[in-house]
Amino acid sequence: MIAVTINGEARRFDGALSVAQLLDELKLTGKRVALERNGEIVPRSRFPEQTLADGDRLEIVVAVGGG
């Protein structure tokens, strides 16, 4: 069981999962996102190999309307 924070919200997962698997869980696969893990950007190419750890803080961002 790992507890992580995603965009400020606490989440729990049964076991360690990769970033790619997390995005799948969140229905974000195929969507254009950028992801920061504990303050460091995770390049898209590394999504399948980066494994989340207990206590990780993630920010997942997208482009939205703005001036």
Is there a contact between 2 and 54 (Cβ–Cβ < 8 Å)? Answer: yes
CB of 33 to another protein, least distance (A): 6
Decide if residue 28 touches another protein (CB under 8 A).
Answer: yes
Task: Say how far apart CA 1 and CA 13 lie, in whole Å.
Answer: 6
Choose the stretch contacting another protein; rule: CB under 8 A; options: 13-21, 47-55, 57-65: 57-65
First-to-final CA distance of the chain: 41
CB of 67 to another protein, least distance (A): 3
CB of 19 to another protein, least distance (A): 13
